[in-house]
Amino acid sequence: MFAGIVTVSVGHCHPRINEALTKQMNTLWHTTNIYMHPKIHEYAERLTAKFPGDLKSVHFVNSGSEANDLAMLLARLHTGNQEILTFRNAYHGMSPYTMGLTAHSTWRFPLPGVNSGVQHVMNPDPYQGIWGGSNCRDSPIQTTRDCGCTGSCQAGDNYYNELEQTFKYCLPRGKVAAMFAESIQGVGGTVQYPKNYIKKAAELVRANGGLYVADEVQTGFGRTGEHFWGFESHGVIPDIVTMAKGIGNGFPMAAVVTTPKIAECLNQALHFNTYGGNPLASTVGISVLDIIEDEGLQKNSLDVGTYFLKSLAELRDRYEIIGDVRGKGLMIGVELVSDKEKKTPLSVPHVLEIWENCKDMGVLFGRGGINGNVFRIKPPMCVTKADVDYAVDCLDRALSEFKLN
């Protein structure tokens, strides 16, 4: 139920990928992209065709950290501004450069200068945040918090007002290079934002000279169900999109897609990635796109994911220890608490007891959240309702056997 940390998008050892990769290995294993080879061009065309607007320039790299690293460089070079905004609770990578974007203390090392030019703004979390209600999220399952909204989302407006304060007080002349946002926070525990918040935030960033960067490392390639890219749920076209993990079904590859105008800034010096877009990676990438389309895995993510969420919500209604169920498609989080009313996080030893019990019954869940109390559920997109029933039954049994001391 975790797909190799959200990487195995179309299923372990998919025979079509194995066959295509073997054929390419027997043809040409590697050449860098300073030499033209057909696969990188074919893949670049296939991948950029999945994007709206003028997002037609692609740079291939090898990991999500590398992708976000390059996106930071593009944003600062193109805008001439230095400051970058990310959300508290966000995870965008572990390189020394991207660690500054990551506002998750469990993933940060005590290095000097990591936060240079990065501002961490309030996380617009409708469940654990200051504001939130029962109609905030773009999800089949809402929080159990009361919601007094009659028109626009009041929680979203409040979080947006807080973002405006950052521009007013923290940024030099209010100018910014970019705002990075996961379409749904992954490592942070499948946190979703209030409806329309991202769209308004992106407009504010652009009005102050910056770019909106959508981190699709975990939400991309149909995982959220209704759309191929998670950012489409927010009703805004990004200036830069980063992607990795499911792009290669576990093969180490990633990409940055932007507009030709933004990409021009790299002409100021030489820029190169030895392995990015090599023949093997490009072949795998093409095969993944074909399989998602041919096997209807985006629709499967929607149908099976919605079924999964509703099944988990039934457990939430039965167990005091489940505080929240959230997500979209096959991007799902289950937050465990010791006090449902106060939303007090369940302690890690107790979480691990349930987690290990599920593992012993044959079900692997991920864990996330700043307190390590959220089950991260992101299975391969070929998962079936029978798989879901088994996973839910195992979780049900583990919860029934758990006793909070």
Alpha helices in 80-214 (DSSP H): 154-169, 197-207
Which ranges of the chain have pLDDT less than 70? 150-151
Residue 152 confidence (pLDDT): 74
Residue 157 confidence (pLDDT): 93
Tell the residue number behind the tokens 């349930």, with chain if given.
354
Q: Write the CATH number for 373.
A: 3.90.1150.10
Do 274 and 202 have their domain in common?
A: yes
Q: Which of 237, 270, 294 is the last residue of a domain?
A: 294
Do 29 and 40 have their domain in common?
A: yes
Do 341 and 280 have their domain in common?
A: no
Number of domains in the chain: 2
Q: Is residue 244 part of a domain?
A: yes
Do 19 and 153 have their domain in common?
A: yes
pTM, two decimals, is: 0.97
- Looking at the chain, the whole-number percentage of residues with pLDDT higher than 70 is 100
If one counts every other C-beta atom within 10 angstroms of the C-beta of residue 47, the result is 21
Q: Is residue 134 part of a domain?
A: yes
Do 277 and 343 have their domain in common?
A: no
Q: Using an 8 Å Cβ cutoff, are 86 and 51 in contact?
A: no
Do 259 and 347 have their domain in common?
A: no
Do 290 and 204 have their domain in common?
A: yes
Residue 150 confidence (pLDDT): 67
Tell whether the torsion through CA atoms of 251, 241, 93 and 255 is positive or negative.
positive
User: Which structural domain range is residue 358 located in?
Assistant: 297-401
Do 196 and 327 have their domain in common?
A: no
Residue 77 confidence (pLDDT): 98
Q: Which of 263, 294, 325 is the last residue of a domain?
A: 294
Q: Which of 246, 275, 294 is the last residue of a domain?
A: 294
DSSP 50-101: TS-TT--EEEEESSHHHHHHHHHHHHHHHH----EEEETT-----STTGGGT
Phi and psi angles of residue 132, each rounded to the nearest 5 degrees, phi first: 170, 155
Residue 36 confidence (pLDDT): 85
Antiparallel, parallel or unpaired: β 344-345 and 254-258: unpaired
Do 95 and 183 have their domain in common?
A: yes
